[in-house]
Structure 1
Amino acid sequence: MPIYLDNNATTPLEPEVRDVMFHYFDAEYGNAGSRTHEYGARANKAVQLAREQIAVLADADPSEVLFTSGATEANNLAILGMADHGRRSGRKHLVTTAIEHKAVLEPMRALEAQGFELTVVGVGESGRASPKDVLAAVRDDTLLISLMHANNETGILQPIEDVADGLQGHPAFFHVDAVQGFGKELNGPRNKRIDMLSVSAHKLFGPKGVGALIARKRGYQRPPISPIAYGGGQERGLRPGTLPVPLIAGFGTAAAIALRDHRLRKKACSAERQRALSVFGALDPIVIGDQSFVLDHVLAIGFKGVDSEALMLALRDKVSISNGSACTSARREASHVLTAMGLHPDALDAVVRFSWSHLQTGTPWAELAQEISALRINA
C-alpha cells in the first residue's frame, strides 16, 4: 500500500483506541439507555467517562459535551439550532468567513434563504482571517459568529482567541468548527468565550461516525439551541438516537491520548515537516498560506508547471495525497478556500496537500521530489 499522507481527510485508529472499541463491541455491548441491568449501567459509565475525557481536552464541563454522528451534524446543530432563538430575539445577523468548511457555509446559506442576513468575511493570501475584519462585521443584532480553528485545506490556524477576546461583553454566540485542530493545538479551543465547539473523532485517531458539540454554559445557561431532529430525548433532547457506545468510548480514549501525547506528536510532526520543506525547497515551490500559523502536520504546496491531478496520479503507488477537501473531492472544481485566498488560476491547479501524522515512518521525500521534477521536465 502507498504511504498515507492524507491525515486531514481522516486518520488511522490508535491501537489503544481500537482495543477499547472492540471491548464494547464484543464484551460490554449494552445500550447506555438501558438502566435496569448491568450491561446498560456499564455502557452508560463508558459514555460518561468519554464525556469527561473530551471535556478535559476542551477545558469544558462533561455536561457540556453532546455526542453527534460527527462534526457536520454538530455544525448543523450549532447553526440551524440557533435559528428559533434568533427569530424570537430579533437578532438575525450571522458572520462567518469565506474559507469555512461547507458544513458551516451551507447551513449559514440555508438560514440566509430563510431571511437571516449573512456577512461573509474575506481572507487574503495568508489564508488567515483578520480578527479585526471579523469583529468589524459584528453588529448589535448579530446572533452567531462561526469561525474554524484550522483550515482543512491549508492547515492555517485561524485567530479564534483574538475573536473570542474581542467578543467579551457582546451577547452574540461564538461557534468554532474545531475539527482539524482539536487535540493538536490545545489553547485556542479552550477559550471560555467560545460558546460552541464542533469536534470529530476520526480526525483525532479515533473512529468515524462519532463527534460532539461542546456547548458551554454562560453562567448557568447553555446556548439556546433548539433540536433539529426529534426522537427519544437523548443528549439533553438535542440529539436523539441510541448512543454508539463503542464509538464514543473510542473517541474518549483518543481525546485522552491526544492530551497525554501532545508534545511527542507535535515534535514528530514538526520534524517531518522540516524534512519535507528541506527537500522540496530545491523545486522552488509555492507554499500556501502564512507558515507561521500552520499546523505541524500539514503542507499545502504547489509546483510550477505541474498539475495537481497529474501529480496525484503519478505518485499514487507511492503516497496517498489530496488536492482539496475530501468532502467535495468527488467532483473537481476550484477550491473555494484557495479561490478566496486570491491564488492565480495556474496556482489553483497546482496545489496538493500533504498531511502526515506521528505514526508516519520513512516518508520518501527525496524520491517524491525526483518524481515531481520529472513531471515538470516532461510537461
Structure 2
Amino acid sequence: MTIYLDFNATTPVLPEVADLIYKVMVEEYGNAGSRTHEYGVAAKRAVEIARAQVANIAKADKTEVIFTSGATESNNIAILGLREFAEQSGKKHIITSKLEHKAVLEPIEHLEQQGFEVTYLNAEAGGQVDIAQLKAALRDDTVLVSIMHINNETGAIQPIREICQLMAGHEAYLHVDAAQSFGKYPFDLDNPRIDFISVSGHKLYAPKGVGALIMRRRGFIKPPLKPIYFGGGQEKGLRPGTLATPLIAGLGLACELASKNAEKWLAHVSELKTNFTAAVSELGGEVNGHNTSPYVINFSVPGINSEAAMVKLKGIIAVSNGSACTSSSYTPSHVLTAMGLDADRIAGAIRVSFGITTEELPVTEIAAALRTLL
C-alpha cells in the first residue's frame, strides 16, 4: 500500500471532525442566518463555537474571525480589501517576498497592474526573507507587508517575530499567510502586531472548502477592509454567502484538537523527519532550505530528476515536486529559484511532508528505489 507523504498538499479529515461534520449536515442542518426557529439558532451556535476555537489558536478575539472558503480567499480579502483605503490615504506601496504562494503573489500583481508599487524581497539561501532588506524597503506610504509563516514547498520558517518587532512603530498592515502552520506550529501567530492571518482548513485535518481570516483590531479600531464581492452581507459584510456550517464546525473542532495536541504532533513528525533526513543524507542528498518545519523536507539528490524519482517511488510513497496548486505547470519552482538554487538541483527537488497519521516510513524501500536512478 502506498504511504501518503503529501500532507502539505492536503491532509485527511480526522475521524472525530468527520463525525461532527456529518452530524451537522444530517441532523443540525439549519441555516445560521435563520433566526426565527431553533434549527437556525443551533447552526448559529455551532458557527460561534467554531469562531472561538479558531481565534484561540492565535489568541485573538472571536469577533476578529470571519469564515471563508480557504486561505486563497482569505489572502484575497486581506490584500484586495485594502485597496480603497490605500487609494484614499495615498499609501499604495506593498512589500512581499518572492517566496510567497501564488494566492498572495497574484492578488498583489493585480494591484501592481492597477498602479500600486510593489517591493519583492529576495530570499536568503536558507529560504528566509532578508530582514535588513525589509527594513530598508519600509516607507511612509507602505500600506501592507505580506509574508507567509511557513513556506509550502520548503517548510522554511519565516522570522515573523523579528518582522513584528521591526514593524512595531510602523502603520503598515502586516498579513501572514499561515496555511501551513496554523494550529500545527504554535509559535508567533499570537503576536498582536500581526493584523491579518489566513487559515486553510484542509491543511489542518479539516475539510477542503473552508478557511478563515483573522483580522485583529488596533485598540478598538477595525482594519479598513472592504468586501471584494457582494451579496448578502454575511461575515461582517466582508464575505457574503450562506455559511457552510458543517465545514465551519469541522474547522473549529480541528483547531481545538490542534490546540490540545500541537506539542505531541510536533514530536511525532520531528522523529519522522529525522529518520527521513538520515536516509537522504546516505544517498548524498541535499536539503533545500534551513530552519524548516518538522512537517516537511524538500531535498535533491545529485543526478536524480524529480519526475523520474516519483515514477520510481510510485506504489511506495505519494510525494510531490512542488506546490499542488501549480502542479499543472512545468515551469521551475519560483520558490527554489528565488533561493538561488541551480537548475539541476531545482529539477531534482522532491517535497516529502509528514502528518499525524503517518505511522512509519519505508526508508529502506525508498532508498533502494532512488539508488536505481544513480
Q: Which range, TM-score by smaller chain?
A: over 0.9
Aligned position for 1:307: 305
Distance 1:166 1:124 in 2: 18
- Aligned counterparts, 1:176-255, within 5 A: 176-255=176-255
Aligned position for 2:44: 44
CA contact 1:130–1:159 (8 Å) conserved in 2: no
Aligned position for 1:347: 345
1:143 aligns with 2:135: no
Aligned residues between the structures: 374
Q: Deviations over 1:253-287 (max 9, x none)?
A: 00000010111101110110111112222111011
Aligned position for 1:330: 328
Superposition deviation, residue 124 in structure 1: 2.2
Superposition deviation, residue 337 in structure 1: 0.2
Superposition deviation, residue 185 in structure 1: 1.7
Superposition deviation, residue 187 in structure 1: 2.0
Superposition deviation, residue 5 in structure 1: 0.3
Distance 1:233 1:73 in 2: 16
Distance 2:131 2:29 in 1: 47
Q: Deviations over 1:48-71 (max 9, x none)?
A: 000000000111000000101110
The one-letter code of the counterpart of 2:91 is R
Aligned position for 2:294: 296
CA contact 2:126–2:289 (8 Å) conserved in 1: yes
Distance 2:132 2:233 in 1: 40
Q: Deviations over 1:141-170 (max 9, x none)?
A: 000000000000000100111111111121
Distance 2:185 2:132 in 1: 22
The one-letter code of the counterpart of 2:284 is D
Superposition deviation, residue 375 in structure 1: 1.3
Distance 1:27 1:11 in 2: 26
Cα root mean square deviation, aligned: 0.8
Distance 1:273 1:366 in 2: 15
Aligned position for 1:53: 53
Aligned position for 2:314: 316
Aligned position for 1:373: 371
CA contact 2:204–2:255 (8 Å) conserved in 1: yes
What TM-score, normalized by structure 1, do the two folds share?
0.98
What TM-score, normalized by structure 2, do the two folds share?
0.99
Distance 2:142 2:234 in 1: 30
- Aligned counterparts, 1:66-215, within 5 A: 66-215=66-215
Aligned position for 1:18: 18
- Unaligned 5+ segments in structure 1 are none
- Structure 1 residue runs of 4+, over 6 Å off? none
The one-letter code of the counterpart of 1:218 is R
Distance 2:366 2:173 in 1: 45
CA contact 2:316–2:365 (8 Å) conserved in 1: no
Distance 2:245 2:324 in 1: 26
CA contact 1:302–1:347 (8 Å) conserved in 2: yes
The one-letter code of the counterpart of 2:351 is R
Q: Deviations over 1:35-84 (max 9, x none)?
A: 01111000000000000000001110000001011100000000000000
Distance 1:217 1:289 in 2: 34
Q: Percent identity?
A: 49
Aligned position for 2:65: 65
CA contact 1:82–1:225 (8 Å) conserved in 2: yes
Distance 1:23 1:354 in 2: 34
Q: Deviations over 1:167-201 (max 9, x none)?
A: 11211100000110111221211110000000111
CA contact 2:302–2:345 (8 Å) conserved in 1: yes
1:9 aligns with 2:37: no
Q: Deviations over 1:302-336 (max 9, x none)?
A: 11111000001111111110000100001211000
Indicate which of 351, 360, 363 corresponds to 1:362: 360
The one-letter code of the counterpart of 1:111 is L
Distance 2:321 2:293 in 1: 17
Counterpart of 2:105 in 1: which secondary structure?
Answer: helix
1:276 aligns with 2:273: no
Distance 1:108 1:177 in 2: 13
Superposition deviation, residue 135 in structure 1: 2.3
Distance 1:263 1:120 in 2: 34
- Unaligned 5+ segments in structure 2 are none
Distance 1:116 1:20 in 2: 44
Superposition deviation, residue 132 in structure 1: 2.0
